[in-house]
Amino acid sequence: MVIRALDLKDVNQLRDIHARYYKDKFDFPNFFDKYLSRIAVTNSDGRIITAGGIRPILESVILTDKSFTPAQRKEALLQILEFNKFFNNKNGNTGIHAFIEDDDNWVQVLTKYGFVPIKGTGLILR
């Protein structure tokens, strides 16, 4: 097996792999737009076995002092979210992630203000 940089000439092969196995699961990834790196692992004939890349994602991390009134917390949250959207758009990113660890109420609150569930299961490699 050979590991090498992904090249634009690989796109047709990647599109074929995506169409055969992943078209109903997720959109075709554009590895050449906002990815920090992109690689392919090929067999001895040069056929791609697997390919992938690393892209940056934005994560919104918010701490809230729960001693303030619900109205004050809501106004502060909306201001944070507006700034997050501005920053996201200014930097050309596709979205902002939020990982809820406090309680299910935050899932409902953030959903009310535009967050949607991600596809798949979120995992992290440390």
CA dihedral 12, 17, 20, 21 (to 10 degrees): -150
Handedness of CA 93, 104, 122, 63 (dihedral sign): positive
Kindly report, residue by residue over 35-56, the tens digit of the pLDDT: 999 999 999 999 999 999 998 8
Kindly report, residue by residue over 10-32, the tens digit of the pLDDT: 999 999 999 999 999 889 999 99
Please report, for the chain, the start and end positions of each structural domain, with discontinuous segments joined by +. 2-54, 58-112
Whole-number pLDDT of residue 119: 82
Kindly report, residue by residue over 55-83, the tens digit of the pLDDT: 888 899 999 898 999 999 999 999 999 99
Whole-number pLDDT of residue 112: 92
CA–CA separation, 80 vs 90, rounded Å?
15
CA–CA separation, 51 vs 37, rounded Å?
11
**3-class DSSP state of 53:** strand
Whole-number pLDDT of residue 107: 87
CA distances from 121 to 27, 91, 97, 118, 124 (A): 16, 26, 13, 8, 10
Kindly report, residue by residue over 73-125, the tens digit of the pLDDT: 999 999 999 999 999 888 888 889 988 886 768 888 889 999 998 888 888 88
Whole-number pLDDT of residue 122: 83
